[in-house]
Structure 1
Amino acid sequence: MTDTLIPRTASAYDYPLLIKNLLFCPVVDNPDQEIIYRNLYRGTYRTLRERVRRLANVLTGLGVKPGDTVAVMDWDSHRYLELFFAVPMIGAVLHTINVRLSPEQILYTIDHAEDDLLLVNSEFLPILEQIRGRLDTVKGYLLLTDDPAEVGESAIPFRGEYEALLADASPEFDFPDFDENTRATTFYSTGTTGMPKGVYFSHRQLVLHTFGVMTVLSTAVGHGTFRRTDVYMPITPMFHVHAWGIPYIATMLGVKQVYPGRYVPEQLLEMIEREKVTFSHCVPTILHMLLKHPHAERIDLSGWKIIIGGAAMSRALCIEAMRRGIDVFTGYGMSETCPILSMSHLTPEMLECTPEEQAAIRCKTGVAIPLVDLRVVGADMRELPRDGASAGEIVVRAPWLTQGYLKDHKASERLWEGGFLHTGDVAVRDELGYVRITDRTKDVIKVAGEWVSSLELEDIIAHHPAVSEVAVIGQPDEKWGERPLALVVPKPGEAGRVTEKELAHYVREYAEKGMVSKQVVLARVRLVDSIDKTSVGKINKVALREKYL
């Protein structure tokens, strides 16, 4: 095939897909709309643009050059939003450090990413002071703080404090054009074994992801929309996959943005009520925590739209949220995919269904969003029938997938084996195109030669009225190969009443009715006080296996 390239006029402008155009060429130019950080800062889009320019002058004045890496350790804030733009817009790479990792893991990611400048919130100075002597690449440090007067003496040779430096910087900066394939961000996946893996994304990828997700959210019918009239507050950390890319969409739409800092339940609920938040995203454990908090009972949560991702949402949690008037639905992706690949929007006909019927759909992985080629394949990489029963691995192609793991050629080749990115998720797909993850390839449990889905069993147990949280793992068994072990946290006040035997019988009833594989009757139940989570709030099954097996 011979390509026929379009002729180019010598003076024509080659419009690169750069992050600066999300800020300066938005869908809605709303200069007086608010951007809020806790009860400490109220700015506008006009001040955001000025502060991004000032920050660019600060960074370049400190010697940051195109290709350098600027790292940040902060809670969700207006400062983080400014860094989302200013750092990549000067041609540097933004490394969003997961502040919930251990000090040794943080040290590893800083050295592995070869960070040149590190901006650190004063709350994390003890961690930085612990590892600073072993940092090989960092040439300078900037202090981030909500109150400079509260910062004591530190051994860190800071080159200034963020707000003071911005105040002294020029409000004018001419952001250059460069290749849209320039790396814009790096962060590290929250793996539960070994050291985290670095993933990276270009300006082009982030811009296309912004438009792809914005398209599906703005064209949804009846629910799950994100429009210019919404009020946005992330409850997924900004250090984790760009807060799912939603801050870029919020800025493009010119909506009111609310940044909560550290995730404290009563503070989150207070901000939802005070600022009239209508759109958020979080993992299931965060939603569970908020709904169970005493303050939630006195707050009107109706009209709040939430994308749930990072882990499977149980139907019990979904129904509870819907009962409170929350429009909750699933978004699917992973660190390697920027992240969003699919969403579980309902059709107008589905919205006429009962809450229980809706929950079954809202908890699915959903339908692939625009530009995502998502397939469920067998071991031979052939696509499986869309019959809602044939299970295989989800593999994908999209213009915003990481092209590999930073400095890890072998793992990159495994990730992209066969020209598709391998998610490691086992799923089925129905005739309408809705995908439902049945398990992770590493989490399925093989009982007497039959596969048992840990997610399906978790969903059943979560429906029991005495259950607060549940996680299911495989337990080695001489006779059966493996048996499911259900770790259950009872609701407050139920710990002394509900028994392991009662819960096991509850599971057997589902099997006797033919609603689930008969192999689940072999499940053991163990009541526990808490369930281990990863740094971003997902159930940590690797840690659970180590603890209980």
Structure 2
Amino acid sequence: MKTKLIQPTASAYAYPLLIKNILNTPLIYSPEQKILYRDQMEYDYKTFGQRVEKLANMLQERGVRPGDTVAVMDWDSHRYLECFFAVPMMGCVLHTINIRLTPEQLIYTINHAEDDVILVNEDFLPLLESVKDRFETVKQVILLTDKKETPQSSMELAGEYEALMADAPTGYEFPDFDENTMATTFYTTGTTGLPKGVFFSHRQIVLHTYGLMSGLCAYDTQASLNSSDVYMPLTPMFHVHAWGLPYFMTMLGAKQVYPGKYEPETLLKLILTHKVTFSHCVPTIINMLVTSPVINQVDLGNWKVVIGGSALPQGLCREALKHGINIYVAYGMSETCPLLTVANIKPKFKNKSEDELVELRCKTGLPVPNVNLEIIDYNGNPLPHDGKSAGEVVVRSPWLSQGYVKDEQKSEELWANGWLHTGDIGVIDSEGYLQITDRLKDVIKTGGEWISSLELENIISQHEAVKEVAVVGIADEKWGERPLAIVNLREDRIDKISAEDIKSFCMTFVEKGMLPKYGIPSRIVLNETIPKTSVGKISKKDIRDQYR
């Protein structure tokens, strides 16, 4: 297509979309606003900006140069937030290491990412020490600790973070460079094979930050964020930059609280002490909190919580709402930076019944601006948005990862035909709401028919005695596959509810025409441990392996 291109003035400044420009706004609008780490560190944004400069100077003095990779292994902390900015702003790559990897996965990601420097919390020193003899590119390791004493280590440490920061000067001129420069990388663990490296540029992270603003702030809906909110992440900062929210809340200049290691009583204490109004997490975390004995002693009426990572069962949604938590869903994946949709309730739906509003809160959501979603069949043809036609969710957006690190084949599979393939099965209704019905690999095929494991989980979760549930398909000689459900009951209902009671409850949905009879699980296992992934999601691969 022939179009008329703008010819810029020779002296015009081509403003690059760089992470350093996210930090400019809060230093002007709210330099006195606070950033806190547990009860151990508190400073304002002005100090934060100075510490970002000091960190850049400290790393530069240690020999770090543009293009180098700096890795971090830490709990959610102010230190991590400083690295979110200083490292990519230097022109380096920030590698956020999954602290729950196995030693084999850990050393693979360190060597594959070609890490030059690793900043490691003392809690993870033993894990790092177990693979130190297999480092290929690591030149130095810097210690992160909340204690005054330096722990003993079999590795040679380049120093302790705060001590090195104290000696570093402020005043660092962060340079301009191409906005398509790689800013971050991390590794996503799939169901098979080695972890895959995902990467994002400065441009993508800046555009994603504005995507969060438009999706979470701009609409008249059940929850909206602004600079007066108090933010505390409950998604690990190693996982897709804590869904990009630290960048976003920093740009807003909001008060931020970093909780360190997740412990239910500590989290609730921080929420109450600092009047936290916004968090985000996987369903497992919110389930851990609402089932804590302390929950009934606290007022959570001002707390907005976005759920992602896996489906929010309606039963858990109702339990959270009962405690005053303004809970709703957002959707994305590691490869999408991650935001794609938010379950914003349209104004015309605000007067619907409680059950209908719960259903809307648990929907996968409406695409945020600059996200194009489609549902396609096996031949790649788009399907109608009728709420019934199910197919794979494919997406386009300016902040999607352009591929996997050093893996051309999987990158091409990810981007087949110019759309990013999510691997999720879903439907889009006439109002534009997406509903994920299953993962391609998790859908249950029984007697030639498909059953959604997520739909079954949603139904079973609504039983008043159910605390947590996971459903998978297991091999069956007659039907190909049959559903198996692991159901954990609330402590006060254990030994009072049987597997047959759960099946009878499912039968009520069959009678309402909401579930086919063959959808009732053939086997229900009560009160067994439900395996979780390193980021707290239910691991259906491990369940299938266990019950195969």
TM-score (norm 2): 0.98
One-letter code aligned to 1:260? P
- Report how far residue 167 of structure 1 moved: 1.1
Secondary structure of the 1:159 match is strand
Aligned residues: 548
Quote the residue 2:158 is aligned against: 159
Q: Which runs of 5+ in 2 are unaligned?
A: none
Say if 1:192 and 1:534, in contact at 8 Å, map to a contact too.
no
Q: Deviations over 1:373-432 (max 9, x none)?
A: 111111222221111110001000100111111111111111111110000000011100
Q: Is the 8 A contact 1:322 1:355 kept in 2?
A: no
**What is the identity, as a one-letter code, of the residue corresponding to 1:461?**
I
**Matches of residues 182-201 of structure 1 in structure 2 within 5 Å?**
182-201=181-200
Question: How far apart are the structure 1 equivalents of 2:529 and 2:236?
Answer: 22
State the Cα distance separating 1:27 from its structure 2 match.
9.5
Do residues 257 (structure 1) and 256 (structure 2) align?
yes
**What is the rounded CA distance, in whole Å, between the counterparts of 1:447 and 1:28 in structure 2?**
60
- 2:421 aligned with 1:405, yes or no? no
Displacement of 1:508 in angstroms is 2.0
**C-alpha distance in 2, partners of 1:478/1:39?**
57
TM-aligned CA deviation for residue 349 of structure 1:
2.8
Aligned CA distance change for structure 1 residues 138 and 352 (closer, same or farther; 3 Å): same
The reply to whether residue 54 of structure 1 matches residue 54 of structure 2 is yes
Cα distance, 1:120 vs structure 2: 0.4
191-200 vs 305-314, greater mean Cα deviation? 191-200
Deviations 1:345-369 (A, max 9, x none): 0022322222211110111110100
- Tell me how far 1:276 sits from its aligned partner: 0.2
Tell me by how many angstroms 1:307 deviates. Answer: 0.6
Superposed displacement of residue 447, structure 1: 1.2
CA contact (8 A) 2:25 2:253 kept: no
Instruction: Report the equivalent of 1:119.
Output: 119
Shift of 1:229: 0.5
- Give 1:174 shift: 0.4
Partner of 1:33: 33
Shift of 1:196: 1.1
CA contact (8 A) 2:366 2:433 kept: yes
**Displacement, 1:521?**
3.4
Q: Distance in 2 between matches of 1:393 and 1:465?
A: 33
- Tell me the residue number matched to 1:143: 143
Partner letter of residue 7 of structure 1?
Q
Say which SS state the counterpart of residue 325 (structure 1) adopts. Answer: coil
Aligned-pair CA distance for 1:100: 1.0
Partner of 2:134: 134
Equivalent residues in 2 for 1:441-480, closer than 5 Å: 441-480=440-479
Partner residue in 2 for 1:18: 18
Question: Aligned with 2:493: secondary structure?
Answer: coil
Q: What is the SS of the residue equivalent to 2:158?
A: coil
Letter in 1 for 2:300: L
Question: Which residue of structure 1 aligns with residue 484 of structure 2?
Answer: 485
CA distance in structure 2 between the partners assigned to 1:513 and 1:357 by the alignment: 16
Deviates more, 1:342-351 or 1:1-10: 1-10
> Is the CA contact 1:483–1:523 (under 8 Å) kept in the aligned structure 2?
yes
Q: 1-side partners of 2:192 and 2:308: how far apart?
A: 21
- Residue in 2 that maps onto 1:69: 69
SS of the residue aligned with 1:201?
strand
Q: Tell me, in whole angstroms, the C-alpha distance in 2 between the residues paired with 1:196 and 1:524.
A: 32
After TM superposition, give the deviation of residue 489 of structure 1 in Å.
1.0
Unaligned segments of structure 1, at least 5 residues: none
- CA positional deviation for 1:504: 1.4
* 2-structure distance, mates of 1:367, 1:28: 33
Corresponding position of 2:528:
529
Residue type of the alignment partner of 1:321? A
Give the whole-Å Cα distance in 2 for the aligned partners of 1:198 and 1:67: 17
The whole-number CA distance in structure 1 between the counterparts of 2:154 and 2:452 is: 51
CA contact (8 A) 1:20 1:89 kept: yes
**What is the CA-CA distance between 1:462 and the residue it aligns to?**
0.8
* Displacement of 1:443: 0.5
Distance 1:447 1:506 in 2: 21
Q: Which residue of structure 2 lines up, in the alignment, with residue 372 of structure 1? A: 371
- Alignment map for 1:497-516 (pairs within 5 Å): 497-516=496-515
Per the TM alignment, residue 3 of structure 1 is displaced from its structure 2 partner at its CA by 3.7
Q: How does 1:213-362 map to 2 (within 5 A)?
A: 213-362=212-361
Equivalent residue, structure 2, for 1:169 = 168
Distance of 1:179 and 1:167 partners within structure 2? 31
Scaled by the length of structure 1, the TM-score of the pair is 0.98
**Deviation, structure 1 residue 522:** 5.3
Amino acid at match of 1:146: D
Q: Select between 377-386 and 167-176 the one with higher mean Cα deviation.
A: 377-386
Q: Which whole-Å deviations, capped at 9, do the CAs of 1:58-84 have from their partners, x for residues lacking one?
A: 111111111110000000000000000
Q: Which one is further off, 189-198 or 292-301?
A: 189-198
CA RMSD of aligned residues (A): 1.2
What CA distance in whole angstroms lies between the structure 2 residues aligned with 1:37 and 1:223?
29
Give the 3-state SS of the residue equivalent to 2:131 in structure 1. Answer: helix
Q: What whole-Å deviation, never above 9, does each CA across 1:111-139 have from its counterpart, x for those lacking one?
A: 11010000001111111111101111100
Deviation at 1:473, TM superposition (A): 0.6
Q: Please give the per-residue CA displacement for 1:9-34, whole angstroms capped at 9, x wherever unaligned.
A: 22211100000000013596200000
Secondary structure at the aligned position of 1:160 is classed as: strand
Residue 351 of structure 1 aligns to which amino acid in structure 2? K
Determine the C-alpha separation between the residues in 1 that align with 2:310 and 2:107.
Answer: 27
Q: Is the 8 A contact 1:336 1:401 kept in 2?
A: yes
